[in-house]
């Protein structure tokens, strides 16, 4: 009882001193600097003498760091789970899967926590401070949590209690985490006081590997690869490699590249950073974006072949064989001009991201920060890419997504129609083996077009579509054969000569003889 009263007394003294501090802050504005230093020095000493409590602050952003502090996040999660029952003023936010509400302490709210009989106090607070990144003077909110405890418990608190808070907070964060889809907002000029260059929405894509149409063995191999990666923290540390892995997804449009990225994110519970390369000003900005990504995430660059003219440098290297130095210079100028035009045309403004900037982004020294990250490129034209960009070690796994096979169709039939066996499957199997049709087209044909459409109707629609594709490809084949007949090109002595020319040549030779 007595100790409770003593605690309360000290807390009152604490808050009185806090009021003095506030007045002190006002005085500071008007006193000369030397006088201020003097008062500051002695006021702290007096306070320390009378005030037996220790305080630890957990700031949301530390110094000029761009990244939100992990410790702040862990404390926030820990307090929201452990003290929301005792706090009187709470903030509510929609939690994971948009189903539940997550309650956290409101600003300036104070709660107590009991750890092995030791009482500690947590306050959620904020201060206004001038930001260094501001072009002009402007104040910015800086939030922090403050932990207060008696100095006789210093060892217990700084030792095991803080470990306990961090560990539990991180676990809670992981459990309650609402996954996010980030973008670097093309064309959007973020205000300089905004802390992050990424904008985000909640990631709610329903794709899973189960619903992906592809060969079962290939699917199994990719899943195993991903799961192994996510559990390999120690392995990567042992071999001295940054904990990240590159995937190159290539194949024709509509074969499931974007869908697979969503399935990967859902499998591992990762966030997705959809990087729009044309909206990145230069290599420095690319690096800043990289630093701001968190671990447990997938960084995606879709259609890498169209993102920037990243093939320019490769051309320059190769061309020296065929052009003189002057010609090479002219060609380089032309390429540079064309690149600028292309980038401006593609909405990228004056993007100056280079191939080496991008390579640095993937596996430079900065790419190791954060860890546990996948980098995924997608392309329709793998052959267009610079080999340096996709070599193993950078893009560790190359995955081809191709036209729909019968196994792929069965997955889609199960997804869309809930059928695993059907009399019409035989016809589909025969036709699908003969034509090239993307899973996106198969899916579209299996989609019921009216409430009356049953599995029979949808399968018949698909068979019709397959026959149509076969008819078209038959025509194309016939046309190709005709073209071949007409030109009847034959290769002779490394030159292409058509039949008529060949006869004339033969005639000339005979005359010469
Ligand atoms: N392998 C697949 N498994 C399941 N659904 C698929 C598959 N491929 C495509 N689809 C369906 O087709 C649609 C388009 O696929 P997606 O956007 O993933 O293709 P993509 O390969 O990324 O195409 P693009 O090269 O044009 O970006 C998806 O919404 C999905 O419903
Ligand atoms: Mg896509």
From the CB of 437, is ligand 1 less than 6 Å away?
no
Residue 338 has pLDDT above 60, yes or no: no
CB atoms within 10 A of CB 287: 17
**Ligand 1 pocket mutation, candidates 258, 260, 265, criterion most atoms within 8 A of CB:** 258
Per-residue model confidence as pLDDT tens digits over 465-512: 999 988 877 655 555 555 555 444 444 444 444 444 554 455 455 545
Band (pLDDT 50/70/90 cuts) for residue 168 is: very high
What pLDDT does 325 receive? 38
From the CB of 257, is ligand 1 less than 6 Å away?
yes
From the CB of 443, is ligand 1 less than 6 Å away?
yes
Nearest CA among 390, 462, 471 for reference residue 429: 462
From the CB of 373, is ligand 1 less than 6 Å away?
no
What pLDDT does 245 receive? 94
Please tell me the least confidently modeled range out of 69-73, 171-175, 346-350: 346-350
DSSP string, 182-236: EE--TT----TT-S-S-EEEE------STT--S-HHHHHHHHHHHHHHHT-HHHH
What pLDDT does 319 receive? 37
Instruction: Copy the structure tokens of residue 365.
Output: 């020294």
CB atoms within 10 A of CB 196: 15
- In angstroms and rounded to an integer, the radius of gyration of the C-alpha atoms of the chain is 33
Per-residue model confidence as pLDDT tens digits over 405-414: 999 999 999 9
- Is 319 within 8 Å of 331 (Cβ atoms)? yes
- Is 201 within 8 Å of 400 (Cβ atoms)? no
Nearest CA among 468, 413, 469, 464 for reference residue 437: 469
| Residue of higher predicted confidence among 450 and 35 | 450
Band (pLDDT 50/70/90 cuts) for residue 342 is: very low
Pairing mode, strands 90-94 and 101-105: antiparallel
Q: What is the DSSP letter of 158?
A: I
Instruction: Copy the structure tokens of residue 384.
Output: 């267009």
What pLDDT does 506 receive? 57
99-110: average pLDDT: 74
From the CB of 358, is ligand 1 less than 6 Å away?
no
375-380: average pLDDT: 94
Alpha carbon nearest to ligand 1 atom 5, residue: 212
Rounded-to-integer distance, Cα 193 and Cα 190, Å: 8
Q: What is the DSSP letter of 483?
A: H
Please tell me the least confidently modeled range out of 124-128, 363-367, 503-507: 503-507
What pLDDT does 331 receive? 39
Rounded-to-integer distance, Cα 414 and Cα 412, Å: 5
pLDDT cut 70: percent of the chain above it:
73
Ordered alpha helix ranges (H), 382-454: 387-390, 406-417, 425-434, 439-446
Distance 253 CA to ligand 1 centre (A): 7
Q: Which ligand is nearest to the CA of 207?
A: 1
pLDDT cut 90: percent of the chain above it:
37
Q: What's this model's pTM, rounded to 2 decimal places?
A: 0.67
| 3-state secondary structure (DSSP) of residue 55 | strand
Band (pLDDT 50/70/90 cuts) for residue 328 is: very low
Q: What is the DSSP letter of 149?
A: E
Residue 343 has pLDDT above 60, yes or no: no
Distance 257 CA to ligand 1 centre (A): 6
- Is 282 within 8 Å of 353 (Cβ atoms)? yes
**Ligand 1 pocket mutation, candidates 443, 446, 447, 462, criterion most atoms within 8 A of CB:** 443
Alpha carbon nearest to ligand 1 atom 26, residue: 253
Nearest CA among 191, 367, 392 for reference residue 275: 367
From the CB of 300, is ligand 1 less than 6 Å away?
no
From the CB of 206, is ligand 1 less than 6 Å away?
no
| Residue of higher predicted confidence among 102 and 171 | 171
β-sheet bridge partners, residue 140 = 129
Distance 256 CA to ligand 2 centre (A): 7
Distance 401 CA to ligand 1 centre (A): 10
328-333: average pLDDT: 40
Per-residue model confidence as pLDDT tens digits over 389-403: 888 888 999 999 999
From the CB of 255, is ligand 1 less than 6 Å away?
yes
Q: Count the alpha carbons within 13 Å of 243 in the hemisphere toward its beta carbon.
A: 21
Q: Count the alpha carbons within 13 Å of 209 in the hemisphere toward its beta carbon.
A: 18
Instruction: Give whichever of 278-282, 440-444, 480-484 has the largest mean pLDDT.
Output: 440-444
Give the list of residues 6+ apart from residue 322 with CB closer than 8 angstroms, or none. none
From the CB of 440, is ligand 1 less than 6 Å away?
yes
299-304: average pLDDT: 93
Instruction: Copy the structure tokens of residue 208.
Output: 């899973």
Band (pLDDT 50/70/90 cuts) for residue 291 is: confident
Instruction: Copy the structure tokens of residue 59.
Output: 């700031």
Rounded-to-integer distance, Cα 240 and Cα 243, Å: 9
Instruction: Copy the structure tokens of residue 477.
Output: 């084949």
- Is 366 within 8 Å of 360 (Cβ atoms)? yes
Q: What is the pLDDT of the chain when averaged over all its residues?
A: 78
What pLDDT does 250 receive? 96
From the CB of 259, is ligand 1 less than 6 Å away?
yes
Per-residue model confidence as pLDDT tens digits over 232-279: 999 999 999 899 999 999 999 999 999 999 999 999 999 999 999 888
């Amino acid at each position: 009882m007595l100790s409770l009263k003593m605690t309360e007394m000290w807390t009152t003294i604490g808050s009185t001193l806090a009021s003095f501090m506030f007045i002190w802050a006002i005085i500071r504005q008007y006193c000369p600097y030397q006088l201020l230093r003097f008062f500051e020095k002695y006021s702290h000493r007096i306070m320390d003498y009378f005030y037996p409590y220790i305080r630890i602050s957990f700031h949301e952003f530390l110094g000029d760091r761009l990244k939100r502090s992990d410790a702040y996040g862990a404390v926030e999660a820990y307090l929201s789970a452990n003290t929301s029952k005792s706090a009187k003023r709470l903030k509510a936010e929609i939690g994971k899967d948009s189903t539940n509400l997550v309650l956290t302490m409101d600003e300036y709210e104070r709660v107590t926590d009991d750890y092995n009989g030791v009482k500690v106090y947590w306050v959620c607070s904020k201060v206004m401070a001038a930001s260094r990144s501001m072009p002009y003077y402007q104040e910015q909110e800086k939030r922090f949590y403050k932990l207060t405890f008696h100095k006789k418990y210093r060892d217990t608190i700084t030792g095991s209690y803080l470990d306990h808070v961090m560990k539990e907070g991180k676990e809670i964060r992981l459990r309650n985490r609402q996954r996010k889809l980030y973008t670097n907002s093309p064309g959007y000029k973020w205000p300089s006081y905004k802390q992050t260059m990424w904008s985000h929405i909640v990631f709610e894509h329903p794709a899973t590997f189960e619903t992906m149409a592809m060969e079962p063995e290939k699917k199994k191999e990719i899943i195993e690869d991903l799961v192994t990666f996510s559990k390999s923290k120690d392995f990567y540390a042992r071999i001295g490699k940054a904990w990240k892995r590159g995937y190159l997804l290539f194949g024709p449009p509509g074969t499931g590249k974007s869908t697979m990225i969503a399935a990967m994110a859902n499998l591992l519970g990762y966030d997705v950073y959809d990087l729009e390369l044309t909206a990145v000003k230069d290599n420095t900005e690319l690096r800043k974006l990289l630093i701001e990504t968190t671990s447990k995430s997938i960084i995606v660059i879709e259609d890498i072949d169209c993102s920037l003219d990243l093939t320019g440098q490769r051309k320059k290297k190769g061309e020296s064989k065929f052009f003189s130095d002057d010609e090479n210079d002219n060609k380089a100028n032309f390429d540079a001009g064309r690149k600028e035009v292309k980038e401006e045309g593609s909405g990228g403004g004056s993007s100056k991201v280079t191939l080496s900037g991008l390579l640095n982004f993937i596996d430079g020294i900065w790419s190791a920060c954060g860890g546990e990250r996948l980098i995924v490129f997608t392309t329709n034209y793998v052959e267009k890419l610079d080999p340096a960009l996709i070599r193993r070690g950078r893009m560790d796994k190359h995955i081809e997504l191709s036209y729909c096979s019968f196994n792929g169709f069965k997955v889609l039939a199960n997804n869309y129609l809930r059928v695993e066996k059907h009399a019409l499957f035989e016809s589909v199997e025969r036709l699908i083996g003969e034509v090239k049709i993307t899973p996106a087209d198969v899916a579209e044909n299996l989609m019921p077009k009216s409430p009356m459409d049953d599995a029979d109707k949808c399968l018949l629609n698909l068979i019709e579509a397959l026959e149509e594709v076969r008819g078209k490809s038959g025509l194309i084949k016939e046309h190709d054969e005709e073209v071949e007949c007409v030109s009847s090109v034959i290769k002779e002595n490394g030159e292409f000569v058509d039949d008529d020319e060949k006869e004339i040549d033969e005639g000339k030779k005979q005359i010469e003889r």
